[in-house]
Chain A
């Protein structure tokens, strides 16, 4: 068991994560019904207010707090107990993040910030919304640096040694996060806050969009890499095999630092202000992350096959049936991975320069991130939650809970399949995202979108309701394992943190040479961004005043 300090810290992070999850999924449920005109909101509540809450609370708050709970537990488990300083800074970071979260949420709830989680200028929210977001990022940096400090201490004591895989991956993810946030911090601190408080009159819109997306894409890797960490380090342990290849895993993570940041233009392919050449360059760089993704897929399936054969699986695919399907910890993550296959393929479509024209800002995109973040990432987190909370609280995880867990992931899969398939097809037909759908005055071609077998008004709502049911079941399990389930007494009743052995004898030392990789990352960023950003500043149009259009 971990020391009490880390357990408390991780549990608090988890608590905030699941509170956000509760409100966020409730918003999701309302959305599917409002879009179908099945529900009318009271005058003080607006669709876009709810959508902002949904995006912020699920995509930013739930993920980030959960990720830190996982990091804290795993770092303490893999490289040892935190010192008092590391603990203190983690708490400070947590409180700053929490303060930012509360501030931003209050602004959303009182209707002062219906600008969605992308807060594109010149929509102008209450300045305190931006302050809240800034505090949230700063808090995450403080926690991140505290964890890096813990890691550096380990390195000092174990000079010349490669760090354990979990710690290495945590540091990679934090490095990625800090570099990525530079963009959003720059725009929020130097553009949005002065402008929203009225210290300057106008804002350079195109520049703010570019700085936002410099951050916005690596943001998705900040969600994804912790899930990959579980796939690389936790799953093999559950399967009873060692990590497939330590060096491969580390290389994949390094490649994510290099190729997830200089690619933000692929979110801006349809807009002016950036010349085709620079857009295309970033499309090329975007495609590079296909390589580490394929590497990850390979090692996952290699592990599955190894484990299946070890358990007596014969023939080409016999090993598949021998996987531990009865183990909730495994099955949840397996389904999460399975969703990532169409998710990744959809991502290639989105990034494909011209193909993006077909799907940009349609419901396809919403379908896409529900089968990337909303399922592979979220369901991996659910799979981790089942054992992480009992592990942290020292409570039992009973058979009833396991059964409920299976129902929960089953419902989530079915709900998501329905909802995201409908969204993908609707998007291809042309239905836009981010609308309290109104039917465009009953326009014929708008009505046609909803004529299909899967794309009618009911399917998305049924999918969304099943998802919400699943979310409530999950929260029940969370509350039970946090507060109610009986304490474990016998040694076998204690839940373990499954962390696989990883053989690093063949791993090249250069993979842990941070300055080298951070240096190359900055070089790529400069190549991809320096000239277009300089142009945006030099050839800037007169800036925009703020608008409150909600």
Chain B
């Protein structure tokens, strides 16, 4: 098959870019542990309220530097206990599931952006750098109240 000289240059350039992009993404993911939200824990969507940690939604300290926030999403609200309040500069492990349809748990001005799928528990670790009140919204269509589904998280010193 005949390829034009410039075309070969172009394709080599493209291939090199491709390798560069993928290496950056890959090193970031697996060497620096920058992986998106996920997890492979399953749960009975009918029994969320009876299953730990969702039987007691809210923030819990795990050790000096780590906290866990267990949250239940359902149309059209989040249940994260009394108030969602976490300290700045500590690792917060969010664990969240749904009792009905698919939702999301997206914290504005951060890269916490996780899908909440019934039957599955989504996990994402995040460390807030600035104190303040953050808006949390549902950005996966979940029904008529989708645009009313939001809450706040208080990040304190």
Name A294's contact: one of B2, B10, B109, B150 (CB within 8 Å): B10
Interface string of A426-454 (1 = CB under 8 A from B): 00001011111110110101100000000
Q: Give A211 to B56 CA distance when docked, in angstroms.
A: 34
B21: shortest Cβ distance to chain A, in Å? 6
Task: List residues of chain A with CB within 8 A of the CB of B129.
Answer: none
Interface string of B115-150 (1 = CB under 8 A from A): 101111111000000000011011111111111101
The answer to the question of A354 belonging to the interface, with a C-beta cut-off of 8 Å to chain B, is yes
Check B42 against A541 for contact (C-beta < 8 Å).
yes
Name A247's contact: one of B2, B34, B114 (CB within 8 Å): B2
Q: Give A288 to B46 CA distance when docked, in angstroms.
A: 41
Interface string of B86-127 (1 = CB under 8 A from A): 000000000000001110101011011111011111110000
A139: shortest Cβ distance to chain B, in Å? 27
Name A272's contact: one of B46, B76, B117, B142 (CB within 8 Å): B117
Interface string of B15-35 (1 = CB under 8 A from A): 101100110011011100011
Q: Give A430 to B29 CA distance when docked, in angstroms.
A: 23
A44: shortest Cβ distance to chain B, in Å? 13
Check B18 against A287 for contact (C-beta < 8 Å).
yes
Residue of B nearest to A440 (CB): B150
Given A348-B21, A549-B145: A446 touches B135 (CB 8 Å cut-off): yes
Residue of A nearest to B121 (CB): A272
Task: List residues of chain B with CB within 8 A of the CB of A290.
Answer: 14, 17-18
Interface string of A250-294 (1 = CB under 8 A from B): 010000000000000000111111111001100110011011001
Q: Give A123 to B141 CA distance when docked, in angstroms.
A: 10
Q: Which of A358-366, A379-387, A391-399 contacts B (4 or more CB under 8 A)?
A: A358-366
Check B119 against A357 for contact (C-beta < 8 Å).
no
Check B14 against A542 for contact (C-beta < 8 Å).
no
Task: List residues of chain B with CB within 8 A of the CB of A6.
Answer: none
Check B106 against A361 for contact (C-beta < 8 Å).
yes
Given A362-B139, A438-B147, A438-B148: A542 touches B104 (CB 8 Å cut-off): no
Check B28 against A541 for contact (C-beta < 8 Å).
no
The answer to the question of B43 belonging to the interface, with a C-beta cut-off of 8 Å to chain A, is yes
Q: Give A35 to B25 CA distance when docked, in angstroms.
A: 35
> What are 18 A-B contacts defined by CB distance under 8 Å?
A120-B101, A122-B100, A206-B117, A271-B115, A271-B120, A271-B122, A272-B41, A272-B117, A275-B38, A298-B7, A302-B6, A354-B25, A354-B29, A357-B111, A435-B146, A541-B43, A542-B44, A547-B101
Q: Which 10 A-B pairs have the closest CB atoms?
A: A549-B143, A541-B119, A541-B42, A432-B139, A271-B115, A272-B120, A435-B147, A361-B139, A294-B14, A357-B111
